[in-house]
């Protein structure tokens, strides 16, 4: 069992078998269910939460609060990009335990000198591997060069802050001229997602992860960034809809103008939009303008859970479904950005709901992303009604078996790989 002290040090507890969690249930795991902690992952202590272990006899579960008189806390892991957790950390909350900040908490154990986590690699694409971003000096020079090259472009200045102050790996890719470049564009949103990364109202139990874009990039600024990236990078992707902004469809007319400007200058690259899919007419407009792919985010394919999490304003779940249908009909590459939480996403009722959704909307790809939020806060907020979990690996196998044409992954692919099955 792994645990933490109150100073953030992580220890093993020899003789105590680690426990994990799915939904609200404690479970034990076999060694084959665990992998070594991927490079670039983080370890966290969980304040106000006691570690739980599995009893050797009887297989029950018990919390523990001290070791040799020293108070203990539960420990957890946050996985590097491209990895999907299969189980949560097991803990028991104490009185007054705070709501956890917005990270995706995975269970963690220790074997010998290795930290182990219940996880699988869902995408082999290296674009956000932390190992390729150990280059701060190179980045600093590239940022300086870009700011000189584009002195009046506020979007380039925004990306420079994202890449340095917030170490956004996607923003770093723009300056290092590789892979996918982010194109934040909208300071406004028509959702009030419980787990919004860029805006939390006063009184929210956790802060936003980063500040939201506070200006409206012009079509000229947007197209300048995209053209620069496409001219420098083979199989490049540029994506609207980032963690530091609201909903890009609210600027559909401006984005369409920017896309047309790009396509007047170059046929290279893949233009993608990450969106909540709230405005079907804007989806059509952007397809008309020349976007290549669309990624529509869901926390759940079930209406009641979707609307409780997203808290949509001026649109509903039926609009999202219409947007998915329009994109499929118009022939662009369509991904679902599905936020995974073990014990929720893979429970029987949700799995069946997902299969029905994919029956109605045979998308090209399901991007399996870890949901960044305190799991207890999330489950309580959406009114979680638990059913038996299938297990994350079983759900993924079900998608592969029943929908063999769907790619399972993590990243927006370039159009050169639209036909490549990665799962």
pLDDT digits (tens, 9 = 90+) for 60-98: 999 999 999 999 999 999 999 999 999 999 999 999 999
> Domain locations in the chain?
2-121, 130-417
Q: What pLDDT digit, counting tens, does each position of 10-43 carry?
A: 999 999 999 999 999 999 999 999 999 999 999 9
CB-neighbour burial class of residue 68 (10 A; exposed 0-12, middle 13-18, buried 19+): exposed
User: From the centroid of its chain, how far is CA 223?
Assistant: 26
Q: Is the pLDDT of residue 130 over 90?
A: no
Tell me 106's DSSP state: B
Q: What's the mean pLDDT in 374-398? A: 97
289 Cβ neighbours under 8 A, 6+ residues apart: 255, 256, 257, 259, 260, 263
* pLDDT averaged over every residue in the chain: 96
Measured CA distances, 334 to 10, 98, 265, 361, 366 (Å):
42, 38, 25, 10, 9
Average pLDDT over residues 121-126: 92
Q: At what angle do helices 169-176 and 154-164 cross, to 10 degrees?
A: 120
DSSP structure class, residue 150: S
162's CB contacts (< 8 A; 6+ apart) are: 168, 171, 182, 184, 210, 244
Three-class SS of residue 133? Answer: helix
What does the pLDDT read at residue 387?
Answer: 93
The per-residue pLDDT for range 340-351, each reduced to its tens digit, is 999 999 999 999
Q: Which residues touch 113 (CB under 8 Å, ≥6 apart)?
A: none
Superfamily holding 130-417: Aldolase class I (3.20.20.70)
């Amino acid at each position: 069992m792994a645990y933490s002290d109150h100073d953030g040090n992580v220890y093993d507890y020899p003789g105590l078998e680690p426990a994990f969690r799915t939904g609200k249930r404690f479970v034990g795991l076999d060694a084959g269910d665990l992998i070594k902690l991927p490079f670039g992952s983080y370890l966290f202590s969980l304040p106000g939460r006691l570690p739980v272990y599995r009893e050797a006899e009887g297989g029950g579960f018990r919390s523990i609060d001290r070791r040799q008189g020293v108070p203990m806390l539960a420990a957890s892991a946050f996985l590097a990009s491209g990895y999907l957790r299969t189980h949560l950390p097991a803990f028991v909350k104490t009185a007054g335990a705070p709501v956890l900040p917005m990270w995706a908490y995975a269970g963690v154990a220790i074997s010998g000198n290795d930290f182990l986590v219940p996880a699988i690699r869902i995408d082999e694409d290296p674009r956000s591997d932390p190992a390729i971003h150990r280059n701060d000096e190179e980045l600093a020079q590239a940022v300086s060069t870009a700011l000189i090259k584009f002195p009046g472009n506020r979007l380039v200045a925004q990306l420079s802050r994202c890449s340095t102050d917030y170490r956004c790996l996607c923003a770093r890719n723009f300056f290092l001229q590789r892979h996918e470049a982010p194109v934040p564009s909208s300071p406004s949103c028509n959702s009030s997602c419980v787990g919004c990364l860029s805006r939390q109202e006063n009184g929210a139990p956790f802060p936003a992860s980063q500040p939201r874009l506070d200006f409206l990039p012009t079509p000229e600024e947007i197209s300048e960034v995209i053209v620069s990236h496409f001219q420098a990078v083979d199989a490049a992707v540029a994506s609207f809809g980032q963690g530091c902004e609201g909903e890009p469809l609210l600027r559909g007319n401006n984005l369409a103008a920017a896309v047309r400007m790009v396509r007047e200058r170059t046929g290279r690259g893949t233009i993608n939009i990450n969106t909540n899919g709230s405005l079907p007419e804007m989806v059509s407009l952007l397809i008309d303008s020349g976007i290549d792919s669309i990624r529509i985010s869901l926390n759940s394919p079930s209406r009641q859970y979707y609307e409780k999490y997203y808290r949509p304003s001026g649109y509903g779940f039926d609009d999202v479904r219409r947007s998915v249908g329009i994109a499929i009909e118009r022939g662009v590459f369509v991904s679902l950005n599905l936020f995974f939480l073990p014990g929720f996403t893979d429970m029987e009722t949700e799995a069946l709901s997902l299969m029905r959704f994919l029956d109605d909307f045979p998308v090209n790809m399901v991007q399996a992303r870890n949901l960044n939020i305190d799991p207890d806060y999330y489950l309580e907020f959406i009114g979680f009604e638990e059913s038996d979990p299938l297990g994350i690996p079983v759900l993924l196998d079900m998608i592969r078996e029943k929908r063999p044409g769907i790619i399972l992954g993590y990243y927006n692919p370039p159009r050169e790989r639209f036909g490549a099955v990665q799962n």
